[in-house]
Amino acid sequence: MATDASPAFRTVPQSHDFHPEISVSPSPTHDGLEFRQFMIAGSIAGLVEHMAMFPVDTLKTRMQILGGSCSVQPISVRQALGSMLKLEGLAGLYRGIGAMGLGAGPAHAVYFSVYEMSKEFFTRGNPNSSAAHAVSGVFATVTSDAVITPMDVVKQRLQLQSSPYKGVADCVKRVLVEEGVGAFYKSYRTTVVMNAPFTAVHFATYEAAKRGLMEVSPESASDERLVVHATAGAAAGALAAAVTTPLDVVKTQLQCQGVCGCDRFSSSSIGDVIRSIVTKDGYQGLMRGWVPRMLFHAPAAAICWSTYEASKTFFQKLNGSESCRT
């Protein structure tokens, strides 16, 4: 029996000691993993991230609506949290989590698998190219946003105070009947326009920060490497969140229009919504909710990346042990 030191490849036995009963499994596509394993790792990471940080996401949604089209004065994170706990209890922070549970897994499976395939293609000859990482991130977000946007619409409508919907199924049914299937994708263009630069900044920052931290301690133990992934992810998430907050405000306004007294817009034009926000609240209205958005994305990215990298490591070891057994 002969094996290669790398888990990604195996040495095929020479003809004189080849046994017909030994089968060779398909080679992993990239980084020692198969495509399906990237999808599983991404799905796990997305679910853990969004479930853990969902209450902060609810606060962000409330703050982006309050002071905007609902004609209520802007409030701080502490005021928003205190009001929610007083009026709705802890359960209010988790309204809509079912919709995110249904959407986050599939969307992140697509997100990370497309990213890994794109990164393998674009970084040929230059594995440390920030531009290649950014472009790969854009490809990933355009495809994953098509999966997550409908459930994100449902999630945000359920997060609103006094939401008229009883739950995920009721919201989906009523939106389809009252507004049509197009309502689920009115914010898709805005989501892509927001997430393309968000993901470009996020992935480029993450890969650069991870590379820098790994150079400081190249022989890190596995637990130290987990800290590296979490730290790089937190930095990437915070920076990307701050840069793209205005577009996130626009997305929230489009997804919640007509619900709980919020304004309806004549079109899904980003420019029209921005003008409406600036007219009512000035340019500071475009940064509404930036604090909870950063408080969400910094730890969320840390959780997501560390979970994703840990899942990849698990599969790499699994593939290696299967290779040795063969």
Which domains can be identified in the chain, with CATH numbers?
35-66+73-307 (1.50.40.10)
pLDDT at 260: 76
pLDDT of residue 178: 94
pTM over 0.85: no
DSSP string, 206-226: HHHHHHHHHHHSTT--HHHHH
CB–CB of 206/233 below 8 Å?
yes
Q: Phi/psi class of residue 270: alpha, beta or left (left: φ > 0; alpha: ψ in -120 to 50)?
A: alpha
Query: Is the CB of residue 129 less than 8 Å from the CB of residue 208?
Result: no
Tokens for 264?
Answer: 């309806």
**Encoded tokens for 163:** 């939401």
pLDDT score for 325: 58
What type of residue is 82? G
Q: Give the span between the Cα atoms of 263 and 258, in whole angstroms.
A: 6
Q: What is the pLDDT of residue 44?
A: 92
- pLDDT of 10 reads 42
Predicted local distance difference test score (pLDDT) of residue 58? 92
Q: Which stretches of the chain score pLDDT less than 50?
A: 1-28, 69-72
DSSP codes joined into one string, 20-70: TT---PPPPSBTTB-HHHHHHHHHHHHHHHHHHHHHHHHHHHHHHHTTTTT
Identify the pLDDT of residue 34: 81
